[in-house]
A and B are shown apart, each in its own frame.
Chain A
Amino acid sequence: MAIDSSPVINSSGATTRFRRRRSRRLSESIVATILMICAAITILTTVGIVAILLAEGLSFFGEVKPQDFFFGTRWTPLFPSAGFGVLPLICGTLLIALGASLISLPLGTLAAVYLSEYAKPKVRNILKPILEVLAGVPTIVYGYFALTWITPLLKATIFPDIGVFNALSAMIVVGIMTVPMVSSISDDSIRAVPASLREAAYGLGSTKFEVVTRVTFPAALSGIVASYILAVSRAVGETMAVTLAAGATPRITANPLESVQTMTAYIVQVSLGDTPQGTTVFRTIFAVALTLFAITLIMNLISDRIVSRYKERYE
């Protein structure tokens, strides 16, 4: 009996085990495929963004000549005598990004130096998260603050003839909201400077100020520059605060007391309006978004390149 049955049991056991292993292998590969598809969605997102911007943008350039768009100085697509020159929007965007960086770069750098070199760990552990809250506050809140507090304050004190909508208040709030991008990333890269460099400088009799300005800061410079570029790129893409604070007057100007319109604010204006889809006027938002996307992408790629080069140095 025992001799008879044992091979049967053995073989059937082996078959089930084999079957189970095969089904397990199958379900393993199904799971792996599903996970891979989820990761591929990110690629599809990029492809989708580029495809729709190019498709709509190119059909816009079929109706308006690219040179009229990129070099034209009159942006009045919503008027009967339509002008499709994007320069006023680019000018408004750059004016605000420039003004914002005059605030965020120095303040962010000082904060980073303080956090990394001067602050005691206890202070640092409180101060750094508080600064990061600035980046977590919704941008609409900054827009409200600029419109209802900063502009009236400026009007009452230094600039009595400032408009309700003006570039200056937008610059200030965009500058403040991008401070943590500079301070956090720069702080990280200053702290990544090897201790041996600092110790060597102290060993030669340098004071703390000399160590900071002549050793650690230059050593961390590439990371700091990368954080600058990211902050400016964020300022270029910032939407709601500038829409609320700077208004909707496309013009080429360097006067921060006037109302300007940024590329993002124009897209919001058209989206809120009743421009029918499929018209040339509606397609302008894709052409503008394509320009915006190209500018921010280039800046982000440059910053990525700087960061990766920087990483190689101390490894």
Chain B
Amino acid sequence: MTTDPSRTSFRANLFNVKLARRHLTGSIFGIVALLGALVGVAVLIIMLVEVWRDGIRYFRLEFLDLFPSRKPDQAGFKSAFWGSLWVIGTTAMIAFPVGVSAAIYLEEYAPKNWVTKILQTNISNLAGVPSIVYGLLGLQIFVRGTIGVGPSLEDLGLNDFGRSVLTGGLTLALLILPVVIVASQESLRAVPPSIREASYGVGATRWQTVRHHVLPEALPGVMTGTILALSRAIGETAPLITIGALTFVAFTPEHLLDDFTVMPIQIYNWAARPQHDFQDLAATGIMVLLIALLVMNAIAVSLRYRFGHGNGR
């Protein structure tokens, strides 16, 4: 039963050698994992620097005050910039009330049954539908006024939505609706039940409780979620190309039924040309688009910090 002391120490040695090796593998792996995470960051930085270097040449105030042109030096972003503002404004006016109402229904009203479960599953599946498919939906429903069977409203001359700002706004609103609903649901859920119970306790109805107590509490989170969803919409290109938004527009929209183009479509149009000057114009357009995104995100973040009581993440 006695163990040879030299053998024990040999074992301990072996263990220590192996342990050192195990720790070494671990730290190498940690470094590899860090590098993996940093690749994404590096690409992001290179991308921003490249866009900046290409685009700075045309980055001046007139860029927003000139219409697209065949001559690169006289080309600008005016129609695309205002077109994007019009479309995103329309999208917000539709997606915000509808999305918040749907979220209120699902969180505060809906009974816990299979219908609600289907609604919820459907919303999460809609978020995974490729955006170009929404473009085809917009083309058929809003531009042509048909669900596929029978003559379309367009054929009958009854539909004058056409390829207008309103069509674009409606299409993008349907696209971001699932995101708005899920974000709003999360912030409604974060409102403590005690607030609802106190309101019911003094005799308020369900709507009074939601309207005066739950919604104000959840509003910063709801608005943050909506703005983030809108910042996804402002970069969307494919669905608007599919509904037939124009690629060359030399005017700004004046009402909801005007034709339009948007920033990403104009950028695509310039980037797809072989001439170097137009590709640089595309980079300038990207700079404007990214600045718009940055502003929207800054608003969303500041809303979260100013009013948030731990709503959202």
Instruction: Give A residues with C-beta under 8 Å from B.
Output: 24, 27-28, 31-32, 34-36, 38-43, 45-46, 48-49, 51-56, 59, 106-107, 109-111, 113-115, 117-118, 127, 130-131, 133-134, 136-145, 147-149, 176, 179-180, 183, 207-210, 212-213, 230, 233, 236-240, 243-244, 264, 267-268, 271-272, 277, 285-286, 289, 292-293, 296-297, 300-301, 304
Q: Given A143-B268, A286-B136, decide whether A271 and B126 contact each other with a Cβ distance below 8 A.
A: no
Chain A residues, CB < 8 A from B105: 32, 35-36, 38-39
Which one of A41, A42, A145, A207 has the highest number of Cβ atoms from chain B below 10 Å of its Cβ?
A42
User: Is the C-beta of B178 less than 8 angstroms from some C-beta in chain A?
Assistant: yes
B21 to A, closest residue via Cβ? A207
Chain B residues, CB < 8 A from A54: 148
**Bound Cα distance A167, B271 (Å):** 17
Q: Are B132 and A289 in contact (CB under 8 A)?
A: yes
Partner pick for A240 among B32, B51, B141, B268, CB 8 A cutoff: B268
Q: Are A148 and B44 in contact (CB under 8 A)?
A: no
Q: Are A144 and B271 in contact (CB under 8 A)?
A: yes
Known: A51-B147, A144-B283. 4 other contacts (CB 8 A): A32-B105, A38-B105, A136-B231, A209-B26
Indicate the size class of the contact surface on chain B.
35 or more
Q: Given A106-B36, A110-B37, decide whether A41 and B98 contact each other with a Cβ distance below 8 A.
A: yes
Interface residues of chain A: helix, strand, loop or mixed (majority)? helix
Partner pick for B122 among A42, A210, A271, CB 8 A cutoff: A42
Q: Are B148 and A51 in contact (CB under 8 A)?
A: yes
**Bound Cα distance A285, B136 (Å):** 9
For chain B, residues 44 to 92, give those with C-beta under 8 angstroms from any C-beta of chain A: 44, 46-47, 50-51, 54
Instruction: Give B residues with C-beta under 8 Å from A.
Output: 19, 22-23, 25-26, 29-30, 32-37, 39-41, 43-44, 46-47, 50-51, 54, 97-99, 101-102, 104-106, 109-110, 118-119, 121-126, 128-137, 140-141, 144, 146-149, 174, 177-178, 181, 205-207, 231-232, 234-238, 241-242, 244, 247, 264, 267-268, 271-272, 279, 282-283, 286, 289-290, 293, 297
Q: Are B25 and A209 in contact (CB under 8 A)?
A: yes
B106 to A, closest residue via Cβ? A39
Chain A residues, CB < 8 A from B32: 110
Partner pick for A293 among B46, B51, B54, B133, CB 8 A cutoff: B133
Chain A residues, CB < 8 A from B119: 39-40, 42-43
Partner pick for B123 among A42, A144, A272, A300, CB 8 A cutoff: A42
B155 to A, closest residue via Cβ? A278
List the 5 closest pairs (A to B, CB-CB), nearest first. Answer: A55-B148, A110-B36, A138-B235, A237-B130, A209-B26
Partner pick for B136 among A52, A107, A118, A176, CB 8 A cutoff: A52
Q: Are B264 and A111 in contact (CB under 8 A)?
A: no
Kindly provide the distance from the CB of B83 to the nearest chain A CB, expressed in whole angstroms: 15
Kindly provide the distance from the CB of B31 to the nearest chain A CB, expressed in whole angstroms: 9
Chain A residues, CB < 8 A from B118: 43
Chain A residues, CB < 8 A from B131: 237, 239
16 A-B contact pairs sorted by A residue (CB < 8 Å): A24-B205, A28-B207, A38-B97, A45-B177, A52-B146, A56-B148, A130-B44, A133-B44, A134-B40, A138-B234, A141-B51, A148-B271, A176-B40, A237-B130, A244-B271, A293-B129
Kindly provide the distance from the CB of B245 to the nearest chain A CB, expressed in whole angstroms: 9
Q: Given A42-B102, A52-B137, decide whether A268 and B147 contact each other with a Cβ distance below 8 A.
A: no
Chain A residues, CB < 8 A from B271: 140, 143-144, 147-148, 244
Q: Are A140 and B102 in contact (CB under 8 A)?
A: no
**Bound Cα distance A179, B43 (Å):** 11
Chain A residues, CB < 8 A from B244: 271
**Bound Cα distance A142, B268 (Å):** 11
Chain B residues, CB < 8 A from A243: 268
**Bound Cα distance A176, B154 (Å):** 42
**Bound Cα distance A264, B133 (Å):** 9
Q: Are B241 and A34 in contact (CB under 8 A)?
A: no
**Bound Cα distance A49, B127 (Å):** 13
Q: Are B264 and A138 in contact (CB under 8 A)?
A: yes
**Bound Cα distance A39, B108 (Å):** 12
**Bound Cα distance A183, B279 (Å):** 32
Q: Given A127-B41, A239-B237, A286-B136, decide whether A118 and B47 contact each other with a Cβ distance below 8 A.
A: no
